């Protein structure tokens, strides 16, 4: 029995599909299942039971003896949300409770952290655990993720294996429900369909030209491969970066999206919205040596390959993974 929280969401649903491919079908899907658009991510997947996140701990107390692994992917991920109480409830305190239960019941745990913890990158993008208390996230979402990482590292009582994964800019199928928080590729395809062009955020930093802001974009299929690896590995507990290891520009991303659609490039620029302008990361790039040092040796999908697969096989076809 494998638990996946955030099961109906983008990464959680892709993880369930990947587990199903390896015949792990005894899946306990935990989420708030009130969003019918999001629930479509689970159509066709093999799931043993759906458990509402508000009732999950009661369920776990009654069924823990059957649980083999827990993937805690669920979180409030809106970087434009500034109600700290929401993040304290869903990202911090809920995660603490899962950690404690996984310790008490000796369930191995992989949980989702975020590259948002790195803020402007003042201390680089190395997953050095001694630096984590010094990091300066730019918004309450990043703060909530960093607060939990700091808390986890201080705990003497731990699950016998645990890993926190700092997801960088994940893109790929099953994000139809995400709206403003969906990847730039999703927005690009929709804008091209509607207007024939794509508007990118203008740079408000003299060190970067318009469209040359850089992020570490990682394909969701690579993210779930790492999750599967850790489920079997169950050694070397700690916090790990999870990106491609290579920063690319938003122009690279959008140009490849036009190419995948076989549509002539038509790119313009608009001001970055003021509510996120001073919280905007201009560069991220994961140092992936720590994950590789524990034996993970699969190559990460290139941006060109990932965009092409996502656009042609999922967005254009309006299919789920």
Tell me the catalytic residues.
141, 178
34 labelled ligand-binding: no
Query: Is 29 annotated as ligand-binding?
Result: no
Q: Is 75 annotated as a binding residue?
A: yes
User: CA–CA separation, 6 vs 108, rounded Å?
Assistant: 17
Q: At what angle do helices 250-261 and 303-310 cross, to 10 degrees?
A: 40
CA–CA dist 46, 286 (Å, integer): 33
- 254 labelled binding-site residue: no
| Residue 145 assigned to a binding site | yes
- Residue 160 CB neighbour total at 10 angstroms: 12
> What distance in Å separates the CA atoms of residue 310 and residue 321, rounded to the nearest whole number?
10
CA distances from 45 to 18, 34, 104, 244, 267 (A): 10, 18, 30, 27, 38
287 is in an annotated binding site: no
State the DSSP string of 125-167.
Answer: S---GGGGGG---SSHHHHHHHHHHHHHHH-SS--SSEEEEEE
Flag whether 234 is marked binding: no
Cα separation, 99 vs 159, in Å, equals 7
Q: What is the dihedral of CA 302, 80, 279, 190, to 10 degrees?
A: 40
The residues that bridge with 219 in the sheet, in sequence order, are: 171
Is 280 assigned a ligand-binding role in the annotation? yes
27 annotated ligand binder? no
Query: Was 113 annotated as part of a binding site?
Result: no
Contact present, 287 and 115 (Cβ < 8 Å): no
147 labelled binding-site residue: no
| Burial tier of 34 (Cβ tally within 10 Å: 0-12, 13-18, 19+) | exposed
Q: Is 210 annotated as a binding residue?
A: no
53 known member of a binding site: yes
Q: Say whether 117 counts as a known binding-site residue.
A: no
| 55 is an annotated ligand-binding site residue | no
> Residues marked as binding?
10-11, 31-32, 38, 53, 73-77, 145, 169-170, 178, 180, 187, 201-204, 215, 280
Binding residues for substrate: 169, 180, 187, 201-204, 215, 280
Residues annotated as binding site for NADP(+)? 10-11, 31-32, 38, 53, 73-77, 145, 170, 178
């Amino acid at each position: 029995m494998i638990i996946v929280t955030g099961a109906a969401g983008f990464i959680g649903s892709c993880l369930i599909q990947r587990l199903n491919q390896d015949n792990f079908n005894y899946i306990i899907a935990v989420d708030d299942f009130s969003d019918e658009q999001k629930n479509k991510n689970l159509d066709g997947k093999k799931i043993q039971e759906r458990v509402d996140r508000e009732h999950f701990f009661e369920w776990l107390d009654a069924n823990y003896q059957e649980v083999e692994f827990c993937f805690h992917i669920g979180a409030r991920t809106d970087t434009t949300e500034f109600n700290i109480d929401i993040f304290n409830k869903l990202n911090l305190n809920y995660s603490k409770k899962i950690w404690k239960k996984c310790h008490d019941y000796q369930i191995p745990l992989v949980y989702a952290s975020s590259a948002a913890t790195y803020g402007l990158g003042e201390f680089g993008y190395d997953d050095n655990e001694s630096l984590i208390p010094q990091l300066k996230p730019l918004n309450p979402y990043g703060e909530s993720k960093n607060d939990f990482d700091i808390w986890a590292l201080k705990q003497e009582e731990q699950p016998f294996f645990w890993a926190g994964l700092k997801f960088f800019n994940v893109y790929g199928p099953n994000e139809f429900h995400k709206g403003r928080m969906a990847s730039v590729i999703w927005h690009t395809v929709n804008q091209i369909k509607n207007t024939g062009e794509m508007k990118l955020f203008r740079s408000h930093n003299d060190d970067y030209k318009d469209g040359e802001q850089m992020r570490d974009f990682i394909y969701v299929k690579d993210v779930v491969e790492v999750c599967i690896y850790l489920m079997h590995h169950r050694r070397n507990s700690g916090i790990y970066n999870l990106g491609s290891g290579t920063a690319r520009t938003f122009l690279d991303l959008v140009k490849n999206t036009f190419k995948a659609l076989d549509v002539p490039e038509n790119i313009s620029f608009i001001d970055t919205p003021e509510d996120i302008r001073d919280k905007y990361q201009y560069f991220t790039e994961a140092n992936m040596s720590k994950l590789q040092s524990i034996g993970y040796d699969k190559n990460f999908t290139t941006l060109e390959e990932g965009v092409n697969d996502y656009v042609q096989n999922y967005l254009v076809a309006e299919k789920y993974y």
